[in-house]
Structure 1
């Protein structure tokens, strides 16, 4: 079975695989997923013919993994740059086996300092490593040097910027949604016979029926062959919204929908070219909500992992699924017309073009079905931004903003989420300062909490009970009560207890204990040391270093008074023999 559940079938008997590299060894044909072919003539590269053939061979080998002409064009452009670099050397190599480490280092130095250059280095390296002659040796080692990943050039929107983009798209899309909804209601009333024949509504309804079936309004043919829209006075004399725009969105209006979808769901611009119409079903246990299954295509994941399905629920005006409902309503007539003109077509993002489409240049995108176009192109995105006084296509920044706002991976891996979207983003960095500050304060508080928790006394109190490390004021109020009553704390934990009292009689034993813990610190790995001894060590350090408690001078003097009994007790403590 295929990744989408279709049963695999064998190819026809006359099928044969055409290798991408032509017999002359200089022309490579790349076939994209849609079956279109594009040729790349390596005789155009400004290098010697043996080098042209070798580059064509590695390009052809690599092309077997590509599914788009965009990828092929990108690799071709990078190889062209590399070829121009080689031709500019004092002694240009005639073939790949003549590449030198010095030449490759010079190539690297020219490219390494910019995002575009680093991307070029990675593409060319991947292609060259397909040649067996560069599988080992000094040049292979130079190719294997790490190339820093390009730094993301786009930043997420500040809230005011995002609001400006979102409101521009929202106003435009709401306008087209209301226009098409009103005309759809009028069309349905005409088809149901609810309009009086000959009335203005009846004339418009009849024109809308023709528009829905053909994609254009009824026209009057004049003697010279020119045509004009019939009933133009009734329909309205100006604006697409009074003509075919009554039932179809324009390309820029469809782009406004895509901007809203990216802002809400963080979808890439390329997703809209091939997004199937979402399927709907009632939500479990609900009668007033509907849940859409939306199929999102992510080709960079690799063959067999392209499709993700997202469940999006429309449960009211502010719910995420309401935008899907409105998108279905705005594109309904376009999708129905596309299915009639090209049976089997089922794409959500469809618009009517205001002119006949030129020859289809981007073969990675769906073919137009005149007068309909599908998806949103880079040019559409730039024209939409320009029409609203914005700089550049909004899609990358809108996606980045949605991802950082959501705070979790959306159609990408956790590593990509952190390294590409979160860590380099200026807005995230600024908003994280308070979090980092709070974390640092909490860490300081925790560090400061590992101190002696009891009281310092000048002499022993006969009412206190002596333990292995301190005198205890009241074991019945211990912070660590035993199940059977009394104190359940280890004697080392007495150093953290508010009931503990330390007087000069304890100083020698505590000083010797600290010396022994210092010896353990040098002998034990970090994990067991931190688990068993670190806190006790810090509390003893607190007693030694704080002049208001014991202080360094009294501590050094106490070391001279350590008795054999102190040594024996400390030895038992370290062995755990005195644990409760």
Structure 2
């Protein structure tokens, strides 16, 4: 088939290679004998070889290699490198526990439920109960994938069939940061980002001056400019080793590389600031692409990766705003993305990565691993689990929590904080917020249970109830039988006879409304008027009105309903009905009308 065939699309089959295709094996057994190797290639493009020769208990290797292949292979449930590494670590830890026993099992049939419980107890020595339960659950999933399940012991089969072996264990999520903590973290990250930007700008400026007018520089600047020119060409730091001890060479190379390239220690503040500005997951930030499009200088469009959404919804296109004001370059996600793109452009050209992130990492072991690119590498290309040393970075900046202790810095907590702050800005109305998740996911995984969210929500609810109660009390100040005795006898007689009736109350002075002049408002607004008087004879109609309002709630959006009828509902239920006895309300319920003129609920205007 020609390589120029049509592209796949709706109604068109995808092009396939000609000839016979055989999928590469996930598990490989060496022909000369020895332990198996499991080859993993994830959906994120990252690969890993798991070699069982590194583990003890060789007689168990083949069965567990088959189980691992089933879990991390194309049909398995662990399809990213990080998830596959978790499965491998479960096997490694389990084998280590078994090796330490006086009589470790030599065959798959000899593994018992007691061995799993010993593994559980060993996990409890180094981690929390919830984490230990999760690790046991991962082990049980591997055991269920072992070939030849009929060979397993009856006690282990029964144990695996029991519920609640960590299946429901959920990690206790750390809360978001308080406003003070978040502001301190972002301020420290911003200072470092500015320092990185200015450092590279100074190096670029010296390089440009050397290229255009080297004679205008002094001797020291010319020498440094020549080194920068060579470094920009080949990517390798050019260091003057004269006068340096051998042990000082790596640091000298590092300092020289920092003049033109982003280095490893820069990743912490850059990632922290990106998380606080965008509110995205750390995995999504680590996979930011270099490819993007700037739209009329006002926004940058790029495709983000979020694998937790599943295969069919892994990629999503976003538009991040770009500030036109250079002074606000660090104030928007789009402007910051473009800054990162520019800062790492030289390194990206040398490393060849398609990722936004590219650094010089050519010291020590990195000099050998990345020799072909002069030490430049996409730091998250091979794996996402590169250590950022966030704790050390926070300690250097003296960041503390609200209690004065060392701040535990996590990118996931930064995202959680942004979700909470965004929800607060929208007054807690999640459907109207531009979130990185659905409203349900945002609530379940970020807002619910967070102490700062709970405290804020309690304050908002208290204020809302207080405001509603105050408004209701003011509106119903003259409502109820207690006030009827204070009225002039003629007015009271007219009210009791029904001559002053509106829809659900009596109007004591229709010629002098609160707005001035004769009242022309809807009858539904009477209960919020100081001229309203409710007597026992009005109770049946009030109860019918409550039924009508309830029926309207079933048909209308809750927020729209609250805006229209919330005050009326509060006045009736909290400040009118409690003034009557149970017997009065029961008698009214038996005589309430079957229906009301529902057009009044929409607020028609009454004419004099």
**TM-score category of the 2 structures, normalised to the smaller one:** 0.5 to 0.7
1:183 aligned onto 2:199: no
Judging changes above 3 Å, is the alpha-carbon distance between structure 1 residues 359 and 63 closer, same or farther for their aligned structure 2 residues? farther
Distance in 2 separating the partners of 1:383 and 1:395:
14
Q: What is the CA deviation profile of residues 364-395 of structure 1, one whole-angstrom value per residue up to 9, with x for unaligned ones?
A: xx998341132362154455445445555542
Distance in 2 separating the partners of 1:20 and 1:573:
75
Q: CA deviation at 1:217?
A: 4.9
Q: What is the CA deviation profile of residues 21-51 of structure 1, one whole-angstrom value per residue up to 9, with x for unaligned ones?
A: 44699754323344634125399577995xx
Asked if structure 1 preserves the Cα contact closer than 8 Å seen for 2:28 and 2:36, the reply is: yes
Residue in structure 1 matched with residue 138 of structure 2 by the alignment: 123
Judging changes above 3 Å, is the alpha-carbon distance between structure 1 residues 447 and 489 closer, same or farther for their aligned structure 2 residues? closer
Q: Secondary structure at the match of 1:308?
A: strand
Residue in structure 2 matched with residue 342 of structure 1 by the alignment: none
Residue in structure 2 matched with residue 30 of structure 1 by the alignment: 40
Distance in 1 separating the partners of 2:372 and 2:466:
60
TM-score (norm 2): 0.65
Residue in structure 1 matched with residue 439 of structure 2 by the alignment: 414
Q: CA deviation at 1:355?
A: 0.9
Distance in 1 separating the partners of 2:149 and 2:591:
67
Distance in 1 separating the partners of 2:595 and 2:438:
48
Count of aligned residue pairs for this structure pair: 520
1:71 aligned onto 2:96: no
After TM superposition, the structure 1 stretch with the greater mean CA deviation from structure 2, 387-396 or 312-321, is 387-396
Q: CA deviation at 1:147?
A: 0.6
Asked if structure 2 preserves the Cα contact closer than 8 Å seen for 1:279 and 1:292, the reply is: yes
Residue in structure 2 matched with residue 307 of structure 1 by the alignment: 315
Judging changes above 3 Å, is the alpha-carbon distance between structure 1 residues 510 and 129 closer, same or farther for their aligned structure 2 residues? farther
Judging changes above 3 Å, is the alpha-carbon distance between structure 1 residues 538 and 466 closer, same or farther for their aligned structure 2 residues? same
Q: CA deviation at 1:255?
A: 2.9
Q: CA deviation at 1:71?
A: 1.2
Q: Secondary structure at the match of 1:349?
A: coil
Asked if structure 1 preserves the Cα contact closer than 8 Å seen for 2:420 and 2:447, the reply is: yes
Q: What is the CA deviation profile of residues 497-547 of structure 1, one whole-angstrom value per residue up to 9, with x for unaligned ones?
A: 755557xxx75x568x59x969x99xx999559889x9899959967864x
Q: Could you say which structure has the larger radius of gyration?
A: 1
Residue in structure 2 matched with residue 375 of structure 1 by the alignment: 379
Residue in structure 1 matched with residue 176 of structure 2 by the alignment: 156
Judging changes above 3 Å, is the alpha-carbon distance between structure 1 residues 58 and 39 closer, same or farther for their aligned structure 2 residues? same
Asked if structure 1 preserves the Cα contact closer than 8 Å seen for 2:527 and 2:571, the reply is: no
Q: CA RMSD in A?
A: 5.6
Q: Secondary structure at the match of 1:573?
A: coil
1:433 aligned onto 2:458: yes
Give 1:385-424 correspondences, 5 Å limit.
385-389=394-398, 393-407=409-423, 410-424=435-449
Residue in structure 2 matched with residue 349 of structure 1 by the alignment: 357
Asked if structure 2 preserves the Cα contact closer than 8 Å seen for 1:86 and 1:93, the reply is: no
Residue in structure 2 matched with residue 291 of structure 1 by the alignment: 299
Structure 2 residue runs of 5 or longer lacking an equivalent are 1-6, 151-156, 244-250, 381-385, 400-405, 424-432, 556-565, 601-608
Q: CA deviation at 1:466?
A: 2.0
Alignment match of 2:24 (pick from 18, 21, 27)? 18
Residue in structure 2 matched with residue 329 of structure 1 by the alignment: 342
Alignment match of 1:247 (pick from 257, 260, 265)? 260
Asked if structure 2 preserves the Cα contact closer than 8 Å seen for 1:267 and 1:399, the reply is: yes
